[in-house]
Amino acid sequence: MSSKRMPKWADVLLVPILSLIIAFALSALVILAIGEDPVRAMRLMITGALGSTYGWGYTLYFTTNFLLTGLGVSIAFQARLFNIGGEGQALIGGLGVALVCLFIPWPHWSLAIIAAIAASAIFGAVWAAIPAYLQAKRGSHIVITTIMFNFIAFSLMNYMLSHVLRPPTSMDPATARFDNVLRLPRLHDILAPMGIDFSRAGPANVMLFVALLACVLAYFLMWRTRLGFEIRAFGKSEPAAHYAGISGVKIIMVAMLISGALSGMMAVNSVMGGPQRLVMNAVEGAGFIGIAVALMGRSHPIGIIAPALLFGFLFQGGSELALETTIPREMIIIIQALVIMFTGALDNMVRTPLETLFALMRRRT
C-alpha cells in the first residue's frame, strides 16, 4: 500500500531523515535535561569527529565497522530475517582473524589480509549457520537464537582470551600483538604518496575500501543476480517464493551465511586494523549499531553508506563529548536507541502523516 501513496524518494529519503530528526531532537532534550548545551555538544562532536584528519581517521575507522555489520544485517533483512546476532558473529570473526595472524608467519600484510578476511568471514558465517539451520529446518525463531548465540559467543571469547590465547606472561585477557609485518596500511600511508597529509594516529585503513567494495558487490548481488532476486523474493513473500521454486531452506541458509560472513569480516578492521591484537569485546556494539544502520539505510547496500558514516561520526564525536563535557559516551547509545525506535518500530508514526500529506497534495494538483 505504501508505495502507492508516496513517491519513492519520500519513502527512501524523507521518512528516515524525518525519523532521524525526531531522534536527534529527543536526544537534544536529554542533553538539555542533564544541564548541557546541545548546540555546543553538536559543535564539539563535529570538531572532534570531522574537524581534523585525526578525527576523520577514527570516524572512518568506526564507519568501516558499521558498513560491514550494517551490510550484514541488511542482507538478512532482505530475506526478512532479523539477524540480531551480528555482535556475536563479529566476535567469533575476530577469533578467526587472531588465529590467522598469530599462527601463520605471513611474509606480507596483503596476503595476511586476504587470509584474515576469509577466516573472519568463515568464522562469522559458521556462527550464523547454526541459528540459520535451526530457523530453516526446525522453525526456531532466529531472533531468539541469535540473541542466545551472542551471549554464547561472549562467553566463548571470554574463555578463549583468558585461558587459551593469552600469552603466559600477560595478565591482560588479550592475545599477543601481531607481527608488525601485518600492520594494515592506514589512510596516512595510503594518502601520503598522493601528497595528502593525513594524521598518522587514526586507525582507518584499507578495510574501509574493502567495506565500500563489499557494499557495491552486495548491491550487484541483490539487484543483478538470480540469488539476489531469490533472496528479495523470499523476503517479500515466503509462499510466493515456494511457488516460484525458490527453496526457503537455501535462502535462509545463504542469506544468513552472507550476513554472518559480513559481520565477521568487520573484525578484520577492529582487530587487525585497530589494536593489532584481539582484545575482549573488540566489537564494541558495532553488531547492534548495524541494526540501526540497516534500518536507516532501508536495507539497501548503497543506502547504508550514509547511515554508517553518520554512526561513525556519532561514535567518534561521542567519545570527544565525554572528554569535553559531562555528557557521558553513553549519549550515543541513546541516540542509537532512538534511531532504531523511530526508523524501525515507530516507522508508521512518521509514515502515516506523510502519506496523508502526499495524498492531500495529490488531490489538490
Q: With CB under 8 A, what is the number of residues at the site for another protein? A: 110
Out of 9, 105, 138, 364, point to the residue binding another protein (CB under 8 A): 138
Could you tell me the smallest distance in angstroms from the CB atom of residue 154 to another protein?
Answer: 8
Q: Is 84 in the site for another protein (CB under 8 A)?
A: yes
Q: Is 270 in the site for another protein (CB under 8 A)?
A: yes
Out of 110, 155, 213, 356, point to the residue binding another protein (CB under 8 A): 155
Backbone dihedral angles phi then psi of residue 186, each to the nearest 5 degrees: -95, 175
Q: Please identify which residue in the block is written with the cell numbers 550476513.
A: 259
Burial tier of 124 (Cβ tally within 10 Å: 0-12, 13-18, 19+): buried
Q: d(Cα 46, Cα 56) in Å, to the nearest integer? A: 10
Q: d(Cα 89, Cα 127) in Å, to the nearest integer? A: 6
Q: Is 327 in the site for another protein (CB under 8 A)?
A: yes
Residue 155 contacts residue 88 (beta carbons within 8 Å): no
Is the CB of 261 or the CB of 321 nearer to another protein? 321
How many CB atoms are located within 10 Å of the residue 303 CB? Answer: 21
Is the CB of 84 or the CB of 128 nearer to another protein? 84
Stretches 102-110, 118-126, 155-163, 206-214: which one binds another protein (CB under 8 A)? 155-163
Q: Is 192 in the site for another protein (CB under 8 A)?
A: no
Residues 219-248 that bind another protein (CB under 8 A): 220, 224-226, 229-230, 232-233, 236-237, 239-240, 242-247
Could you tell me the smallest distance in angstroms from the CB atom of residue 107 to another protein?
Answer: 22
Is the CB of 114 or the CB of 359 nearer to another protein? 359
Q: Is 346 in the site for another protein (CB under 8 A)?
A: yes
Q: d(Cα 68, Cα 105) in Å, to the nearest integer? A: 27
List Cβ neighbours of 337 (8 Å cut-off, separation of 6 or more): none
DSSP annotation of 205 reads B
Q: Is 330 in the site for another protein (CB under 8 A)?
A: yes
Out of 329, 353, 356, 360, point to the residue binding another protein (CB under 8 A): 329
Q: Is 51 in the site for another protein (CB under 8 A)?
A: yes
For residues 283 to 322, the per-residue mask of contacts with another protein, x marking binding by CB under 8 A and - elsewhere, is xx---x--x---x-----------------------xx-x
- Give CA separation, 115 vs 7, 102, 360, in Å: 45, 12, 56
Burial tier of 42 (Cβ tally within 10 Å: 0-12, 13-18, 19+): middle
Q: Is 337 in the site for another protein (CB under 8 A)?
A: yes
Q: Which residue type sits at 246?
A: I
Q: Which residue type sits at 175?
A: T
Give the number of C-alpha atoms closer than 13 A to the C-alpha of residue 81, restricted to the C-beta side.
Answer: 38
Stretches 67-75, 106-114, 261-269, 280-288: which one binds another protein (CB under 8 A)? 280-288
Sign of the CA dihedral running 174, 175, 177, 183: negative
Stretches 10-18, 67-75, 140-148, 299-307: which one binds another protein (CB under 8 A)? 140-148
Stretches 10-18, 107-115, 148-156, 252-260: which one binds another protein (CB under 8 A)? 148-156
Q: d(Cα 85, Cα 147) in Å, to the nearest integer? A: 6
Could you tell me the smallest distance in angstroms from the CB atom of residue 172 to another protein?
Answer: 5
Q: Is 29 in the site for another protein (CB under 8 A)?
A: no
